[in-house]
Amino acid sequence: MADSIFNEMYDDGRVRPPYARLEDWVRAMPAALRAMKQAEAEALFRRIGITFAVYGEGGDPDRLIPFDMFPRVFTQGEWLRLERGIKQRARALNAFLLDVYGRGEIIRAGRVPARLVYGNEAYEKAVVGFRPPRGVYSHIVGIDLVCTGPGEFFVLEDNCRTPSGVSYMLENREIMMRMFPALFREMRIEPVDGYPELLRQTLASVAPARCEDEPTVVILTPGHFNSAYYEHSFLADLMGVELVEGADLFVENGLCYMRTTEGPRRVDVIYRRIDDAFLDPLCFRPDSMLGVAGLMDVYRSGGVTIASAPGAGVADDKAIYTYVPEMIRFYLGEEPVLRNVPTWQCAKPDDCAHVLANLGDLVVKEVHGSGGYGMLVGPKSTRAQIAAFAERLRAEPGKYIAQPTLALSACPTFVAEGVAPRHVDLRPYCLVGEQTLLVPGGLTRVALSEGSLVVNSSQGGGVKDTWVLAE
Amino acid sequence: MLSRTAENLFWIGRYMERAETMARLLEVGARIALLPSVGHGYRSEWDSLLQASGTAAGFAAKYGDPVQRNIESYLFFDRDNPSSVASCLERARENGRIVRTALTSQVWDALNTAFQELRQLERQPRSELDLGRMTEWTTRHTAMMRGAIEATQLRQDGYDFLGIGYNLERADNTARLTDVKYYVLLPRADFVGSGLDTFQWTTLLRAMSAQRAFHWAYGGAFTAAKVMHFLILNPACPRALITSAKATTDHLDRLAQRYGQATTAQDRARAQLDALRATTVEAIIDEGLHEFLTRFILETGEIAQSVHDTYLSGEAR
Amino acid sequence: MILSVSHVTQYRYGSPVRSLVQSLRLTPSVFAGQRVIDWAISVEGASRGASFRDGAGDLVESWSLRGPAEAVVVRVEGRVETTDLNGVLQGHRETVPPEVYLRATRPTLADAAIVVLARQVADQGGEPLALAHRLSAAISEAIAYRPGVTHAHTTAAEALAQGEGVCQDHAHALIAAARVLDLPARYVSGYLFSDAEGDAHEAAHAWAEIRLPGLGWVGFDPANRCCPDARYIRLASGFDAQDAAPIRGIARGMVPGAGGESLDVTVAIQSVQQ
């Protein structure tokens, strides 16, 4: 298996051009200096308090995610292609959402099965027929990608609700620039620090039509006990907007307000970092303490914008994922730039039979799961584990999808013995509002143990800075 | 500013100040306990200390008899005691984490460092920790925090809410510390003016790091009247009730001006300050020190309630 | 038939609440079977907020009230002209795809007994309409009308096992059974005019609608062994009782243990002489 793995730094024993300068950099760095730098980076992270788990992965909120100083590098050419593919996908996903909550053309055309969409738990009845400002449902689309060879990218999954981790993209860069300014002077790396302002502009651009002044944008957090609280607070700070909890907001006269020391202040756009189910106890879970009573009524009548829009989750469901290339063709009339990983829907009897017969070679995931839990990595599992999983699969086939194990690319990574290749993925954050925007970079997650394919921070994953070289 | 943010800032101020007071109370208690027992004994001295800190019931429920070592643990480390130094620091830091972006990095650093060190301190065997070190550690960190606020926080509404929290708490605490003296001091009227009396007043001043300041301000021997004047009515004393009342009034005036709206909190604080300015030590002694302090503590609570209703609850329109 | 409605709902709080927000779906649906002559909703002391027609065709109105308040009174007064369409929801504008109503919720989850009941009815064959009628009749048989034995959170499965319940339980059970047969089904809340013969049970009423090929949505009222006719006024629909509730509200600042919330509802439906 090792032979077939694409090493992003070395190709046939030769250093690939984007990494040329880094090879000298590593060679010139003695172990002692490296250790010092690593300690410095950790101290910086701890000091700024960036101790949180990637959303949905749980874990100790005061835990640090390991930061690997070896950056991952893309050439301008590689990135342009990725950018085209990511934006294309983000546009198609939004077109799909607007369509399935509207006329449902893609379903009438027989391109996506009605039941898969309308019967989906994430399909939100309460917003059917509603057209959000600019027709956008998912304002921040996080697309998880893996690379298997030069220029060969596959999309693992889409995140249309509230993809997290962008604060790592920003902090990783900040720390790398502080520690290795010389590299930045020499290598001409595209900046990512414009992201918070672009996010703010994107959110302001989807303010309700009724809002006439400069829109007031807020971030709605479940609170400081949430593992991603740091990110919420970090983004609010960089965007210059208030970070609110549900109890800080209330509705009156068809509008939403926040409670301030000077009395109520109108809120126009809510970037929510809480799930649909908790947004409004009058509309969704009545026991939710995190939401705002009456918020959905205000939203539906155009008094406030919620980003991402309630109901956006139906587009990033793992069962819907298979149809994204179809969406791109249907709505955009284009061929997909980025490929999907071939996926077997265990809900389909034929697919399920194939999966059961080939469990040892496949990765099986829960349709609604996240964080790398409840999944089976066939080639890394024992016979007993496979047998046990087969039982679960037979009991509830509709809960699972399966994919071939891809030969994920590896990037040089600092390990105890020096530098060694480790598997990586990539999550760029695409902004969709008045324009579709993508900062040149993203969050690279790395599986720190040798041979591991699981990059989730809760299971031994770390993060890296992601560089896109200017022309 | 979000009402909740203002509330968090207000409580950071209160908790930091309360942590400091708890440390100082412990110091007062330990020094008073060094005295030969005068008729009513060791036990009631610690009792009065617990009474004054409002922790007597909680302590009794957990430990029963007041033994110094238990009292030290209870007032310093115990999370079951919401007023312990550790509880206060932890809650101040938690409030700070929630409004992290409303604080400068220096202020956050001061707060976070105190919290991290506290965790280390807690891991040490208690036998290696003497009381003096613990109180000194506390006052050092609270001073660093205060310094960071003064040196780096923007003079905006957030600064005022921090300040109101600090000053209301300080006013309340100084009143309570002074009340300890009352409880302990007046077992019999004929002790007034005795060597014991003087020792206790000195101890109180020392606990407030105000012994030298007192000499500088008054010279000569300690008298109850002088110390009372110093701790209650002298605007030069940083912990005097009148100083805290003045600071609270100033912060409230600034907020009212900034927001363009006069408030009841402002009126109440102003009334309290005016009353302090108009009174004398003689008048206080006539009323009875304990009665005076009790009334002052009550008024301070009312001001805090007004601040809450006007700014922190988010209910004001 | 012209029906006049007077519906007063009073919430009393053990301790005054700081504020209250309500989302109301108390306006008669727009379809060929009913025409509003006049209709007024008021919430004493509250102000009207957001208002819109949702994808299911229901008119939603938000009200909010600034406390402190010890009671809130929601008053509905109006007249509606109704026509018997044999339960068919004709001319109703809605955009929610019927497949959405194949989803089970906690109260409408079919257990083994409901599956058996539905399958037995289906085994007799027949057109979907006939099937739906038989399904409704089977639910009427299986669950006897008896107030007070079930509560707001009783599930369809529990009601069937118990063999007794009220209109909410009938509707839940019918919905669960219809979904077993892959027929989209939903919960409807509304009013029922109880005539002199006294065969109707509750003035504030609930029934089910089943989506049938060729006919669209058709109402079935197993509690009264019939289809909605001119005596019925349709207000709102949803997956289940909670989802279709005409009044949803949340009070802020209730003191725990201070008596909570008590509810007093009076509904008077009268037939107006023409």
All structural domains of chain C with their residue ranges: 2-81+246-271, 85-238
Classified as helix, coil or strand, C159 is helix
Closest Cβ opposite residue A258 in set B2, B98, B316: B2
Structure-derived torsion over alpha carbons of residues A415, A420, A422, A428, reported in degrees to the nearest 10? 90
Interface residue A233 vs chain B (CB under 8 A): yes
CATH of C2-81+246-271, one of 2.60.40.2250, 2.40.50.140, 3.90.180.10, 2.40.10.480: 2.60.40.2250
Answer whether the bond into residue C68 is a cis peptide, omega within 30°: yes
Chain A's closest residue to C253, CA to CA, is A247
Are the beta carbons of A236 and B315 separated by less than 8 Å? no
Classified as helix, coil or strand, B315 is coil
Q: Is B25 left (phi over 0), alpha (psi -120 to 50) or beta?
A: alpha
Angle, helix B131-152 to helix B157-185, in steps of 10 degrees:
150
Give me the mean pLDDT over the A218-222 stretch. Answer: 96
Answer whether the bond into residue A308 is a cis peptide, omega within 30°: yes
Are the beta carbons of C99 and A118 separated by less than 8 Å? yes
Per-residue pLDDT reduced to its tens digit, B190-232:
555 566 667 777 777 877 777 788 888 888 777 778 888 999 9
Are the beta carbons of A123 and C100 separated by less than 8 Å? yes
Residues of A in Cβ contact (< 8 Å) with C21: 250-251, 282, 293-294
Confidence (pLDDT) at A50: 57
Closest Cβ opposite residue A261 in set B97, B108, B311: B311
Residues of A in Cβ contact (< 8 Å) with B259: 261-262
Give me the mean pLDDT over the A436-458 stretch. Answer: 88
Six-digit token string for A425: 């993925």
All structural domains of chain A: 2-336+407-468 (no CATH), 342-404 (3.30.1490.270)
Is the separation of the CB atoms in A219 and A242 below 8 Å? yes
Six-digit token string for C239: 């997956």
Six-digit token string for A151: 């220029």
Closest Cβ opposite residue B259 in set A47, A248, A261: A261
Six-digit token string for C149: 């034995």
- ipTM of the complex, rounded to two decimals: 0.92
Interface residue B216 vs chain A (CB under 8 A): no
Angle, helix B289-307 to helix B157-185, in steps of 10 degrees:
160
Closest Cβ opposite residue C100 in set A125, A254, A282: A125
Q: Is the dihedral of CA B195, B201, B207, B213 positive or negative?
A: negative
Is the separation of the CB atoms in A429 and A142 below 8 Å? yes
Hey, what CATH topology would domain C85-238 get? Answer: C8orf32 fold (3.10.620)
Beta strand A400-404 pairing with A10-11: unpaired
Asked if residue B185 has pLDDT above 60, the reply is no
Are the beta carbons of A114 and C97 separated by less than 8 Å? yes
Per-residue pLDDT reduced to its tens digit, C212-230:
999 999 999 999 999 999 9
- Alpha-helical regions (H) of A60-135: 76-100, 105-108, 114-118
Interface residue A292 vs chain B (CB under 8 A): no
Residues of B in Cβ contact (< 8 Å) with A224: 94, 97-98
Selected for mutation to probe chain A from C51, C53, C62 (highest A CB count within 10 Å) is C62
Residues ≥6 apart with Cβ < 8 Å to B285 = B225, B228
Q: Is B260 left (phi over 0), alpha (psi -120 to 50) or beta?
A: left
Interface residue C51 vs chain A (CB under 8 A): yes
Six-digit token string for A77: 């050419």
Confidence (pLDDT) at C110: 95
Closest Cβ opposite residue B100 in set A49, A258, A259: A49
Q: Where are the beta strands (DSSP E) in A324-460?
A: 339-340, 344-345, 362-366, 376-377, 400-404, 410-415, 418-427, 429-432, 436-438, 443-447
Confidence (pLDDT) at B197: 67
Cα-based angle B178, B184, B187 (whole degrees, multiple of 5): 130
Interface residue A63 vs chain B (CB under 8 A): no
Q: How many residue pairs bridge chain A and chain B with CB atoms within 8 Å of each other?
A: 54
Give the integer Cα–Cα distance in Å for A441 and A428: 6
Give how far B110 is from chain A: nearest CA, Å: 11
Gyration radius (Cα) of chain A, Å:
22
Are the beta carbons of A282 and C21 separated by less than 8 Å? yes
Give how far C46 is from chain A: nearest CA, Å: 10
Are the beta carbons of C54 and A251 separated by less than 8 Å? no
Is the separation of the CB atoms in B116 and B96 below 8 Å? no
Per-residue pLDDT reduced to its tens digit, A399-427:
888 999 888 899 999 988 888 999 999 99
Determine phi and psi for C165, rounding to 5 degrees. 170, -170
Are the beta carbons of C103 and A255 separated by less than 8 Å? no
Confidence (pLDDT) at A56: 41
Chain C segment 101-160 residues within 8 A of A by beta carbon are 102-103
Per-residue pLDDT reduced to its tens digit, B79-106:
999 999 999 999 999 999 889 889 998 9
Chain length of chain B: 317
Confidence (pLDDT) at B288: 86
Give me the mean pLDDT over the A30-47 stretch. Answer: 85
Are the beta carbons of A281 and C19 separated by less than 8 Å? no
